[in-house]
Every structure is written in structure tokens, then in C-alpha cells.
Amino acid sequence: MIEDTPTCQIHEKYDWIQCAHPAIPIDPEGLCILHSNNPAKDPADFRAALHAIWNKEDSEYHDFRAVFFPGRFDPEDFFGSREFPNQVVFDFATFTQEADFSRATFTQEAFFNEVTFTLKAKFSVATFNERADFSWATFKEEADFSGATFTQEAFFNEVAFTQKANFSVATFNERADFSGATFKEEADFSGATIAERLLFRKINPEEEDEPRPPFRGDFLELEIQDQNLLRFQDLSLALVAFAGTDLRRAEFHHVAWHDYWGRQAIYDEISLREEEKKSPWFWEWFRSKVCPWLAYYCPYTKPPETPWGDDYGAVERLYRYLKTNYEGEHDYKNAGDFHYGEMEMHRRASKWRWFPFYWNNLYRFLSGYGERPLWALGWLAAILAIFTGFLAWTGLEILDPKYSAIFGNPFFYLLQKVTLQRPIWAEPVGVFGKLVAGLSVFLIPGQVAMFLLALRNRLGRRR
């Protein structure tokens, strides 16, 4: 009696997958030509088995589950630019070389759950007309989805992108979910079009007793077709750039931005500052135009235009959009940080920023653009102490004998002077003393106003 040829016994992890192919003798686990990971399996037989799946007419879907694509099999001829008219399932499959699905069209649903792409995965200019599901997939090299079109929902939950994830110029017509994904390298979504919702939640796993690590991302020039369609939640955006994107149309919930000198900043500003440090253009101009003349005279020379003026203007718009966004959510503390960033970019874009008494320099120095009440209070105390010291040094003539010459007289004289009480019991001595007393009427109340404005911005508008 001749025994029947044994059929493929899928590993117990995939025991629900039924496989009718015969086991190949060279596989110790009793797997078939499709599922065996034995490098000695015949590539011609493997290709023939794939064609058998493809040509099976009575099947509702093409079943490539747990298929092990060997290194000697070239999938480009089989998958690249191909139209998949039926549902296609690649769950648990392994590609040991480049997986080329570029320009492919998936007419029905496409499932790539827990697929392992050992080398580059190409889905550039591919079209997914129905649901595309890549949940728990692993991309060990670059994942190229540039120019891809997702007509229906796309799921990339818990996906591991070991190298660059390229979704530039991709189109998301329905919801796309990247919750729990890991981006170890750059994530490029520049130029993408969002018509429904693009969700990034809990990106990169938390490390023990450490905050969630940031991911490097480019969300440049996004086309967001409606309000609040780009959502970031429970993640770090410390290394994400947004130049050219209207951030009024995005949602931010429990996100961490780049910490720059005690304020929240966007990465576009940080990278622009680093670029400027590499090319200190102003000092080159100063040394070549001004320093040669310092031995005789220093002629007035118009300062040059900053070469990054337009770039700073673009980052200024990003901060303005973020400020508007957070004010709409009544999150005024963060809105204050982004107002600071907006003003800082406006100041740095100006050619006059190198002059100490430029208005924006003074505004920043004395009150942090109306957002730092402690700065303003500290400078108020310093200005009052300096003017009191000057007045004590020049001398104060006591006109009313009821006032004795005590140390506190200059302070109380200034206090009455700046509150418009017109003290007649004393007069400053000398021209310099009168000048100090006169300037105090403008400078000290001005600093008081800056302090009150900063205090109101930081506290009062939260009501």
C-alpha cells in the first residue's frame, strides 16, 4: 500500500492556516515549498506555487499567509506594477530580499499583518483602493510608500520602522492610523495630502523610568484639506519639522516639544539656529566692512540683510499657527511659549537685530516679549536700584527741614517722582542728577507696565 504524500504542517503559531501543498523532503519541519524557510528550496518550484495561488479561480482572496520568500526569488516580476483584483493576504509572510510592490494596484483589501521585510520594501506609487492593513509589520530597512494612494482606511499600528519610513507625497483619503508605531530613523511625510485623519499616538515605546523618546520626522508642506485632520497624541515632537504646514488644522494632545532655554520650541527653529551657527555671516561682514576703519573713524554702514530672513519668517508663521491652535483650546501657557517663539523669529529675521537698542531686542530683554513676568520684575528692581544709586551719588538737596538727610531719601524721592506726586521737599543736585530724575519718570513706569503686561499674559488670561 502506497502512503499518501504528507501535506504541509504550518507551525503551531499559525495552526489556523490550512495549506494543501505537499511537504518537501528537504524541510525538517514538514513544510511545503511556500512556507519552508530552507534556503535550498527550488526557486522555480516556488514561483510555480505562487502562480498556482494566483490562478486559482474559485478563491475569494489570494492567500500568501506565512509564505517565506527566499533570497533567490525575485518578486519584482511577480508583484511590481501588478493589479490585484481580489483581496490579498500576506499576513506573517517573510521577505528575505527587496519586496517590490511599486505601482501595484490593490483593488480589494490588502493585509500585511506581522509581515517581516528583511530588505527594502517598495510600495512607491502603489494604489490601495480598499483597506490597507500593515499592523505589527517589521521593516528592517527602508519602507518606501512615496506617492502611494490610500483610498480607504490605512492601518500601521505597532509597526516597526527600523530605517527611513518614506511617505512623501502620499495621499490619505480616509483615516490612517500609526498608533504605537516605532520610528528608529526618519519619518518623511513631506508633501502628503490628508483628506480624512492622520493619527500618530504613542509613537516609539517608552523606556523604563524615561520619557517617550522623540522620533525624527518631516511633515513639511502637508496639504490638510479640513480642520483637525492631523492628530498627535502622547508622544514627543522634539525632532519633528513642520515648515510650510498649516498647524491650525492639527490637534496636539499631551505632546512634548523641544525644550530650549526653558521654553517649548519647534524643531524648525532649532535646526535653523544650528545652520546659522555654522555660518556666522554678520561677524564676517562686520570684520570686513567696519573693523578696517576703526583706527580712524567708524562710518555708518547699513547692516546687511540676514540670509535666513525668509526661513525665519516661515518658522514665525508656524509659531503663529501653533499659538492660534493652543489659544483655541484655551491652553494659554503653551500659547505663551509659542508667542515668544513667534516674536523671537520676527526679531531674528530683521537686519537690525544686532543693535542693542532695537525695539524687539529691548522687548525681549526686559520682559521676554511680555511672557516672562519674573524677568520684568527683576529688571524693575534693578532699574529702581540703579537710579536710586545714581541719585544718591549725585546728591539730593533737602528743601524741607522736616526731612533729614537719611539713606532712604533718594529711593522715596524717586518713588514719589515716578508716581507723579511731584515731591517738593527735595531737588536733585547737578545736571546729571536732574537727568536721572527726569528719565526715571519714563523708564520706571514703562518697566512697571511691562511687568503688569507679562503678569496678565501669564496669569490673567487663563481665566
- Most confident of the ranges 19-33, 164-178, 337-351, 368-382: 164-178
Whole-number Cα distances in Å, 221 to 196, 226, 240, 241, 396: 17, 15, 13, 10, 64
User: Residue 3: pLDDT above 70?
Assistant: no
- Structure confidence by residue, pLDDT tens digits, 26-69: 888 888 888 888 878 888 888 888 888 888 766 778 888 889 98
Looking at beta carbons, which pairs linking 419-424 to residues 24 or more positions away fall under 8 Å? 424/399, 424/400
Question: Which fold would CATH assign to domain 373-462?
Answer: Helix Hairpins (1.10.287)
What's the pLDDT at 15? 66
Greater confidence (401 vs 304) lies with 401
Place of cell 524557510: 37
Cell of 431: 545736571
pLDDT digits (tens, 9 = 90+) for 152-206: 999 999 999 999 999 999 999 999 999 999 999 999 999 999 998 999 999 998 8
What pLDDT is stored for residue 460 in this prediction? 61
The pLDDT, as a whole number, for residue 288 is 58
Q: What stretches of 247-328 show up as alpha helix (H) in DSSP?
A: 267-278, 281-289, 309-328
pLDDT for 407 beyond 70: no
Where does the pLDDT of residue 290 fall: very low under 50, low under 70, confident under 90, or very high at 90 and above? low
Over the chain, what is the mean pLDDT? 86
pLDDT band at 295 (very low <50, low <70, confident <90, very high): very low
Q: Are strands 263-265 and 258-260 parallel, antiparallel or unpaired?
A: antiparallel
Q: Which helix (H) or strand (E) holds 13?
A: none
Taking 80 as the threshold, does the pLDDT of residue 362 lie above it?
Answer: yes
Task: Please give the pLDDT value at position 1.
Answer: 32
Residue 181: C-alpha distances to residues 115, 139, 235 (Å): 14, 11, 11
Identify the bridge partners of residue 183 per DSSP, sorted by sequence position. Answer: 161
Confidence of residue 4 (pLDDT cuts 50, 70, 90): low
Confidence of residue 355 (pLDDT cuts 50, 70, 90): confident
Domain spans, the chain: 74-256, 271-355, 373-462
Q: Where are the alpha helices (DSSP H) in 80-180?
A: none
Instruction: Please give the angle made by the CA atoms of 23, 65 and 161, to the nearest 5 degrees.
Output: 130
Q: Which are the contacts of 8, defined by CB distance < 8 A and separation ≥ 6?
A: 19, 20, 21, 22, 23, 30, 31, 32, 34, 35
pLDDT exceeds cutoff 80 at 273? yes
Cell of 154: 490605512
Q: 192-248: per-residue pLDDT in tens?
A: 999 989 999 999 988 777 788 999 999 999 999 877 689 999 999 999 999 999 999
Per-residue confidence band for 463, with pLDDT thresholds at 50, 70 and 90: very low
Place of cell 519584482: 76
DSSP character string of 205-244: PPPTTSPPPP--EE-TT-EE-STT-EEEEEEE-TTEE-TT
Amino acid identity for residue 323 in this structure: K
